[in-house]
């Protein structure tokens, strides 16, 4: 029995396109600022905008202060090593390959977060009270790019909503925010914090794969639908 896959509504597609365009613009400004920093300069928001070919008004919407721009530009330098690691990881569709990619991602992400903890805490301080706008992140989206790169072999194997949910859930397992909970609240040493982050990521991945396999084997029609608290928003 075939399962009907709902198509995205036109407005939803339009909104997603706008969000992606905003993310591309943000990356463009950061890339220009990172290049200037690498050249030994301390760019202002205006200088980064000019180098990126973006209006200064637009740049200030993403980076209202030079301090935020410079912090993000410094962290943008982490992209190269992470992307190189993911490019060298097994890229097959086998479960073992995907599990390896996710494990390597979280381990490297948390190790880098610990090495750059002071800078990342500065970024949190700069943005935690900042008022954001719809579809415009207040902080960098490097981890989302890395998570999607790690999950690339999985994308065709699970439903779109399950994939997006997994990306969002894995974003909770990596980065400075996870470390704030594990170290500041739980009081874990660095090695345990990294291990817990990796364990949580693998649990989320396995749950997603299990749900996809159950969905594949069992026809949706005729099965009782159980809705958990909050599931209508997922």
What are the tens digits of pLDDT across the range 131-187?
655 555 566 678 898 999 999 999 988 999 999 999 999 999 999 999 999 999 999
Whether residue 138 contacts residue 132, with contact meaning beta carbons closer than 8 Å, is answered with: yes
Please state, as a whole number, how many other Cβ atoms lie within 10 Å of the Cβ of residue 133. Answer: 9
pLDDT interval class at 92 (50, 70, 90) = confident
224 SS3 class: coil
User: For domain 14-77, is the CATH number 1.10.10?
Assistant: yes
| Helices and strands in the chain: count of H runs, count of E runs | 11, 0
Q: What pTM was computed for the model?
A: 0.72
Q: Comparing 38-42, 187-191, 222-226, which segment has the lowest mean pLDDT?
A: 222-226
Please state, as a whole number, how many other Cβ atoms lie within 10 Å of the Cβ of residue 108. Answer: 19
Please state, as a whole number, how many other Cβ atoms lie within 10 Å of the Cβ of residue 76. Answer: 18
Which residues have C-beta within 8 Å of that of residue 62, sequence separation ≥ 6? 25, 26, 29, 136
């Amino acid at each position: 029995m075939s399962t009907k896959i709902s198509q995205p509504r036109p407005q939803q597609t339009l909104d997603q396109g706008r969000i992606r365009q905003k993310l591309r613009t943000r990356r463009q400004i950061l890339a220009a600022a990172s290049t200037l920093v690498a050249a030994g300069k301390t760019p202002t928001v205006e200088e980064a905008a000019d180098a990126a070919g973006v209006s200064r008004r637009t740049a200030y919407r993403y980076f209202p202060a030079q301090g935020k721009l410079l912090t993000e530009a410094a962290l943008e330098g982490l992209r190269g090593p992470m992307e190189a690691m993911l490019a060298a990881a097994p890229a097959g569709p086998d479960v073992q390959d995907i599990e390896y990619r996710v494990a390597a991602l979280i381990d490297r992400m948390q190790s880098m977060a610990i090495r750059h903890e002071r800078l990342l805490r500065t970024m949190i301080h700069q943005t935690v009270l900042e008022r954001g706008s719809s579809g415009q992140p207040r902080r960098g989206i490097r981890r989302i790019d890395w998570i999607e790169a790690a999950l690339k072999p999985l994308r065709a194997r699970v439903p779109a909503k399950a994939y997006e949910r997994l990306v969002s859930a894995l974003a909770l397992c990596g980065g400075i925010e996870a470390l704030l909970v594990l170290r500041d609240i739980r009081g874990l040493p660095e090695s345990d914090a990294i291990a817990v982050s990796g364990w949580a990521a693998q649990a989320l991945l396995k749950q997603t794969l299990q749900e996809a396999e159950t969905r594949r084997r069992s026809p949706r029609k005729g099965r009782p639908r159980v809705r958990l608290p909050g599931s209508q928003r997922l």
